[in-house]
Amino acid sequence: SQKIEQNSEALNIQEGKTATLTCNYTNYSPAYLQWYRQDPGRGPVFLLLIRENEKEKRKERLKVTFDTTLKQSLFHITASQPADSATYLCALVEPNDYKLSFGAGTTVTVRA
């Protein structure tokens, strides 16, 4: 069956450190993968998209990698800040499809 698995445990890190989140998928061949941020009581907010033929994407303090051989994406938040505390969701779309399939998310807490 198809599965998208994110870090099972919440991540607690010190301000200024790098947070690294994993997203592993099974029985998908995604055309692209996205990362969203979700705050309590709010809907997800789009952060980054990375395509199957791209290895790495950056946006400000965020970096995403995509390894189709390992079937894995890594999401890094560098120089983390308390304002980065949220749940981060990975989602993927298969070729010729339109709907996002989401993982369960990883909750990140950045301590001052």
Partner 1 sequence: GAGVSQSPRYKVAKRGQDVALRCDPISGHVSLFWYQQALGQGPEFLTYFQNEAQLDKSGLPSDRFFAERPEGSVSTLKIQRTQQEDSAVYLCASSLAETNEKLFFGSGTQLSVL
Please state the closest distance from residue 15 (CB atom) to partner 1, in A.
26
Question: CB of residue 25 vs partner 1: minimum separation in angstroms?
Answer: 12
Nearest approach, Cβ of residue 102 and partner 1 (Å) = 3
Task: Judge whether 107 and 11 are in contact, CB under 8 Å.
Answer: yes
Interface residues with partner 1 (CB under 8 A) are 4, 32, 34, 41-46, 49, 89, 91, 93, 98-105
Q: Residue 19 or residue 44: which is nearer to partner 1 going by CB?
A: 44
Nearer of residues 21 and 44 to partner 1, judged by Cβ: 44
Nearer to partner 1, 41 or 69 (CB): 41
SS (H, E, C) 9-58: CCEEEECCCCEEEEEEEECCCCCEEEEEEECCCCCCEEEEEEECCCCEEE
